[in-house]
Structure 1
Amino acid sequence: MTLKGLGGTSYPPRDDAKKERGIRGLLRKASVSIKSKTQRRHSHAVESRPSTSYSPWLNRLRGAASFNRHPVFPSDYDYESAVDSCTELMSPIPGYGDAPPIIPIGSGGAAARATAAAQNEYFVRHRQFLSADERFGDHESGIGIAMSPSESASSYPDPAISRVDFISVLPVELSIQILAHVDHVTLYNTSLVSKSWARVSRSQHVWREAFLREKSKTYAMSTPVQPGTMLGVPPTRPDNNWKELYRARQELEDNWRHGRAEPVYLNGHLDSIYCVQFDEFKIITGSRDKTIRVWDMKTYTCSLIIGPPDVVQSSSLMTAPDGTPHHYATLPDQSRQTQYNPEAVSFPIHHNKSILCLQYDENILVTGSSDSTCIVYDIKNGYQPIRRLQHHTAAVLDLAFDERYIVTCSKDVSICVWDRETGNLLKQLRGHTGPVNAVQMRGNTIVSCSGDFTVKLWNIDTGKNIREFSGHTKGLACSQFSDDSRFIASAGNDKIIRIWDANTGECLQNIAAHDNLVRSLHIDSVSGRLISGSYDQDIKVFEMETGRLLLDFPKWHSSWVLGAKSDYRRIISTGQDPKILIMDFGLNVEGIDMLESK
């Protein structure tokens, strides 16, 4: 059967074509074999040297040999003189030009195989000295090398392929899609290649994809960071300069790595500050002076004081006996920023003792006190109190809430679960034998720690203790739950921080952290950093995964550290000295405010 093409030309079928190519290959090999036999008899005379048309190639070979590039030829081989036909050849000699390689005499098939290997090695080592034409111009000679340019290209990829300027060849849209998958170092380098590469590498789409891909990664969260959630990833607005955003974030992270933080101290409280929470715009603190204070993060001013009537009406609330104002900020250059007197209010529902704990979201603030009660405030209505939660018989030491429940723990060794919407007490959990000093919740699970040396997990729905973590040798003061509920950190009077697997109960890290009681812990589930504050007056930053100490800030407080929390930019801590310490890693970063969730 034959195939006919245009004009009636007949072509053999595909199988026949293969046979023809196979026959031609056999004939070619036979001719090479015959030629090689003839040359072994007669070609060792001077006349059998390569023709002058291959002299450039030969010169390159001589140059390669002269640089001791592990030549394939034997070291005593004379490239210039003829080889005596009577001399037994002990080493294989690669062929020149059309000539086949010379096989050593008297070694049979092994010698032929050795010669083929030498020929291949020779071409691999010295092909960089040949032009593309010289590399693929010889279609007949050589054992074990490509018989055609296409076969040679498959064996030795053309290096020109890796040098294709795809920016100039492809449409801009496709080039941008390609660059959107590379890291920031590569993007910076591409801008140095040429003007056209620089133009494409400046694309906002490229930097947007790089930022959202690399800066939304998390260590212990169930999802990547969502834009606009006050975690260092701003909302995706049309006017965002994503390259500048990336630069600012990169510089901020570099400051974290090297501990370059600028301190700002906020003054105003009259006694120990037990608790603190903050976001990009405000800080809320609670103190032994019975007040709750709201601070503006931008201006470092106190905007509101909430307390009992006898406190807010006292002349000592605003100024010291010498007439100097209490409320001011000490900046990194030690200059003082004074302010006007903040608004001070008292409501019918208020605390009469120390504010020991607090938590807020966008709608409510909840505080716990030494007076054994909690108060719920409406933030959007000027922090007006909504209700009081009252059931504990001793000081409320810590609290946490979500959209369904408010959970409180007390010195009375119990945990109470309240309905957030109504304030009704749903259940009281008992199991600890000492004061319950800290509590947190994730989903329907509560983690608590106590002066009885233990950490416990509870199921909110059943009220049952589902797991206990034992290992601490003294009473515990603080515990933390990672955002994805995988890890628990705990610490206390044994000066050790333990990190637990919440699912198995295994102790993953055992960190000898401080020289005194560890009073405060905070897990940053985005970065994997663990912040600790201690009675030894130190604030430290550890790597959750390894337990490695990353940063140490000794004696930045003049007394015990009572609370320390962090976000993507700052560590804010409070202590027995009535000052709020803001350790700002982004204060000197140009454009840092672009990262905020405005």
Structure 2
Amino acid sequence: MPAHLYYPDDSDHQGHHRSASHSFKGRIRRASLSLMKGFAQRRDRRSSEPAVDGYLIQPSTSSSTWNRLRSATSFRHSRILSRQPSLDPVYAQLESSYVPDLPIPGNGNAPPIIPSNTGAAAKAAAAMQNEYLALSERQRQDGWSYIEGVHNDGESGIGISLTPSESNVDMVSEMDCSIPRIDFVSHLPPELVVQILSCLDAAQLSAVGRVSRRWNQTVSDQHIWREAFLREKTRTYATGHNAQPGTGCGIPPVRQGSDWRMIYKARHELEQQWTTKKQPQATYLNGHLDSIYCLQFDENKIITGSRDKTIRIWDMHLLQCRLIIGPPEVVNQTQILFDPNGKPLHYASSEDNDRACPSVPVTVSFPIHHKASILCLQYDDEILVTGSSDSSCIVYNVRSGYRPVRRLEHHTAAVLDLAFDRKHIVTCSKDITICVWDRATGALVKQLTGHTGPVNAVQLRDNTIVSCSGDFRVKLWNLDSGKVVREFMGHTKGLACSQFSEDGRYIASAGSDKVIRIWDANTGECIREIQAHESLVRSLHIDSISGRLVSGSYDTDIKVFDMETGEQVADFPRRHASWVLSAKSDYRRIVSTGQDPKILILDFGADVADIQCLESSRKRESVYDAGFI
């Protein structure tokens, strides 16, 4: 009989049974240990052992992963099974790829995979597993069930998608539907609803208006659109404050009965016209007999000064010349008004030279007048000031029909540019000096010297003057002390023009080197350099509201740049037959003049519906009531 089946004799049957049973169990245990020892040896010879029939045999050694887990945690299991549940193949797959020191949570209620280092790591792994199990239990109690799909990693829970169980669907549906069904427009007082909706922009208001008929009616409230317009469309680039309604900058006055939704739409479409490649409507005003050196305009009028020694005032809406001011020997000549065929010389024309809006302006000559070319001018609601090649300036009273008030004389050469505010008039000259005058009396306050070449341009902001000269330099002056505060060096040739932003932060300058430079007025740093034109840059204009910079050049081009980025926004080449001498802009138009005796109006709002609603509707100038017309 084989040794493993031999039983010794025993007179006690019960004792014999216990001994046989004990012997049989012992033999089975020894066989099991032998088998496990064999598996352990095979495991030592291989890097990993595959699962057998869905199970993985683990050796019962003191250094096993499970024993370390038992010693490091408070699990109450009293014995370790040598055969794990069917989840063990997952561990087998991870053992070859998991990184030591990083605990991997177990699947479901199974224990985590413990890093092979210290008990601290095992505790951390157990804590992670306990936290994961607690979360799972909370989600189960809340009515959520697991959907394991292709994005589920099967162990850590990452990628597991949660969906409400069937018992909780009704509750979730009710929650989802309750929020959008709260109609605050119906429940809140109308005044509060209007205040809330006033915080939205145009696109949001349009979307809100599609919610329901009630919401659409509420959104049509003029207060909502007025607040949206004033909040969004009055922001400025460099003025130090928001644009004020009714000041001629495309912000109409706030008055009862205005359709602010229409106003908003018109302004938005106008702004888009500036940024698209669509060309604005071009109109030429004809009537001057020689080069037009200077201009200024607003919503109602354009005032120009020319080499023909006259100042002409044009109606912006009718595109007609209304008044000519000049010396007697000029304005009394009949050929200033009619051509040899008897047709009026003042008319508007398109780029195709089609004549329109003919006019016969009033001509007037005063005892105080210029005897040479009008080189520069500026006006406001009260006065018009002109500078001439005759070395003098004349101050006119706008409200009395542009009658001259006084002449300013001190310069010894042509007055090339001028500027004024409520207190002072500043002029610059070919005699390389700058003069400061008292606006109210015309008295000379002081003369500034420091440039070594003709001072071609000057501007005034509070008590600060900026000037540029043929000596390549831009200078910043303190008006009170008469001293140079700062010089801006960088141009390589003589300068023809400079501009001050309205808030005094930026200065733009340009000239014979064909480059526009933008300076920080506070630091003197050149913050932007724009390779602008192919010839001398004769004119610059900063629109401090929009941040657009308009330039005109001897290359006959007019260009528009973004002050913030320096990028070119628009280009209008060859619109003049010769040099561009002056170019200015507002929210709607660019108006320019040149060596050819024509005024060019580029109107970006010509095709915008209801564009007139953006105008300030200021009263017509007193020239129409002064008896001249």
Deviations 1:458-509 (A, max 9, x none): 1111111111111100000000000000000000000000000111100011
Measured at CA, do residues 328 and 426 of structure 1 come closer, stay the same or move farther in structure 2, by a change above 3 Å? same
Measured in 1, the distance between the counterparts of 2:478 and 2:391 equals: 24
Q: How many residues align?
A: 499
- Given that 1:437 and 1:449 are in contact with CA atoms closer than 8 Å, whether structure 2 keeps it comes out as yes
Secondary structure class of the residue paired with 1:289: coil
1:196 corresponds to which residue? 214
- Given that 2:112 and 2:129 are in contact with CA atoms closer than 8 Å, whether structure 1 keeps it comes out as no
2:370 corresponds to which residue? 351
| Pairing 1:161-172 to 2, within 5 Å after superposition | 161=179, 164-172=182-190
Tell me how large the CA RMSD over aligned residues is.
Answer: 3.1
Measured in 2, the distance between the counterparts of 1:262 and 1:92 equals: 75
> Which is worse superposed, 342-351 or 107-116?
107-116
2:164 corresponds to which residue? 130
* Shift in Å, 1:348: 0.5
Deviations 1:93-145 (A, max 9, x none): 45xxxxxxx233786763562364377488696776316962899xxxxxxxx
| Pairing 1:452-467 to 2, within 5 Å after superposition | 452-467=471-486
> Which is worse superposed, 169-178 or 443-452?
169-178
- Given that 2:111 and 2:129 are in contact with CA atoms closer than 8 Å, whether structure 1 keeps it comes out as no
Alignment-mate amino acid for residue 117 of structure 1: Y
| Pairing 1:207-246 to 2, within 5 Å after superposition | 207-246=225-264
Deviations 1:235-280 (A, max 9, x none): 1001111111000000000000114311111001011000000000
Alignment-mate amino acid for residue 288 of structure 2: H
2:185 equivalent to 1:178: no
- Given that 1:275 and 1:356 are in contact with CA atoms closer than 8 Å, whether structure 2 keeps it comes out as yes
1:590 to 576, 589, 609: 609
- Given that 1:74 and 1:91 are in contact with CA atoms closer than 8 Å, whether structure 2 keeps it comes out as no
- Given that 1:282 and 1:294 are in contact with CA atoms closer than 8 Å, whether structure 2 keeps it comes out as yes
2:129 equivalent to 1:114: yes
2:269 to 251, 264, 267: 251
Measured in 2, the distance between the counterparts of 1:426 and 1:105 equals: 91
Measured at CA, do residues 164 and 334 of structure 1 come closer, stay the same or move farther in structure 2, by a change above 3 Å? farther
| Pairing 1:25-424 to 2, within 5 Å after superposition | 92-94=106-108, 102-104=109-111, 110-111=125-126, 113-114=128-129, 116-117=131-132, 120=135, 129-130=163-164, 134=168, 161=179, 164-260=182-278, 261-331=280-350, 335-424=354-443
Measured in 2, the distance between the counterparts of 1:420 and 1:485 equals: 21
Measured in 2, the distance between the counterparts of 1:380 and 1:209 equals: 35
| Pairing 1:492-503 to 2, within 5 Å after superposition | 492-503=511-522
2:537 equivalent to 1:518: yes
2:149 corresponds to which residue? none
Deviations 1:47-89 (A, max 9, x none): xxxxxxxxxxxxxxxxxxxxxxxxxx99999xxxxxxxxxxxx
2:552 to 506, 513, 533: 533
Measured at CA, do residues 332 and 129 of structure 1 come closer, stay the same or move farther in structure 2, by a change above 3 Å? farther
2:499 to 477, 480, 490: 480
1:57 corresponds to which residue? none
Measured in 1, the distance between the counterparts of 2:531 and 2:112 equals: 75
Measured in 2, the distance between the counterparts of 1:205 and 1:386 equals: 46
Measured in 2, the distance between the counterparts of 1:589 and 1:106 equals: 72
Measured at CA, do residues 164 and 407 of structure 1 come closer, stay the same or move farther in structure 2, by a change above 3 Å? same
Measured at CA, do residues 542 and 103 of structure 1 come closer, stay the same or move farther in structure 2, by a change above 3 Å? same
1:543 corresponds to which residue? 562
Measured at CA, do residues 103 and 161 of structure 1 come closer, stay the same or move farther in structure 2, by a change above 3 Å? farther
Aligned-pair identity (%): 60
- Structure 1 length normalisation: TM-score? 0.78
* Shift in Å, 1:199: 1.7
Measured at CA, do residues 250 and 333 of structure 1 come closer, stay the same or move farther in structure 2, by a change above 3 Å? farther
- Given that 2:289 and 2:597 are in contact with CA atoms closer than 8 Å, whether structure 1 keeps it comes out as yes
Measured in 2, the distance between the counterparts of 1:194 and 1:294 equals: 53
* Shift in Å, 1:322: 3.9
Larger Rg: 2
Deviations 1:359-402 (A, max 9, x none): 00001100000010100011111111101111111100000011
Measured in 1, the distance between the counterparts of 2:438 and 2:218 equals: 55
Measured at CA, do residues 335 and 515 of structure 1 come closer, stay the same or move farther in structure 2, by a change above 3 Å? same
Secondary structure class of the residue paired with 1:588: coil
Deviations 1:24-67 (A, max 9, x none): xxxxxxxxxxxx99xxx9xx99xxxxxxxxxxxxxxxxxxxxxx
Secondary structure class of the residue paired with 2:207: helix
